[in-house]
Amino acid sequence: MPRDLPILALSVRQPWAWAIIHGGKDIENRTHGSIKSGQMRPGQICIHAATGLTEEEYRWSVYKLQQVGVTPPRPDDLVRGAIIGTVEVTDIVTKSDSPWFGGPCGLVLRDPKGVDPIAAPGALGYLEWAPSGAVVSPRPWMMRYDRANGDDRTRDLFPDLNQSFATPPPRPYPKSKPAD
């Protein structure tokens, strides 16, 4: 493991991990139970991009990220199964004015720094990570995501084209209850 990186990491699903490092996401939402059982506390940590990502999760996250003015990379350009950066957790809160806060609790983040991806397995809560394996390859749906009629030229012609939503996509996650 590189000596200058923290030994503790938090595994976050994409594109939220990308948003922490590159998109200004200053709160990572968790339940009170996950913070307690994961022994989460303030301090310097690595951000691990989890391996899982469904098309429904990606569509929902694009919609939510657009609401705060952020456009994530295409799903096949998101690194998964690797350490992608570091961040300092400065506090754990149950209320915040940040547009990123969705509760019921949040890790307050600052000073994100990207690193070249380092393949590593993830786990729930804070984990002691070590390099292992390989970065996860894109799934087939990721390779064809948002291409018009299967025409690969769309990506080359309009690489920064934002996806728009006439109606919000369905939420793929259960809604958390607010903290007491």
Query: Quick check: 86 pLDDT over 60?
Result: yes
Paired strand residues for 172: none
> In terms of pLDDT, which residue wins out, 166 or 59?
59
CA distance 137 to 140: 9
Q: Which residues have CB under 8 Å from 158's CB, separation 6+?
A: none
Instruction: Tell me what percent of the residues of the chain surpass a pLDDT of 70.
Output: 82
The yes-or-no verdict on residue 69 having pLDDT over 80 is: yes
- Cβ contacts of 180 within 8 Å, gap of 6 or more: none
Mean pLDDT, to the nearest integer, of 138-165? 62
Structure tokens at 99: 């547009």
Q: pLDDT band for position 162 (50/70/90)?
A: low
Confidence of residue 154 (pLDDT cuts 50, 70, 90): very low
> What mean pLDDT do residues 71-86 have?
96
At residue 42, the pLDDT reads: 95
CB-CB neighbours of 180 under 10 Å: 6
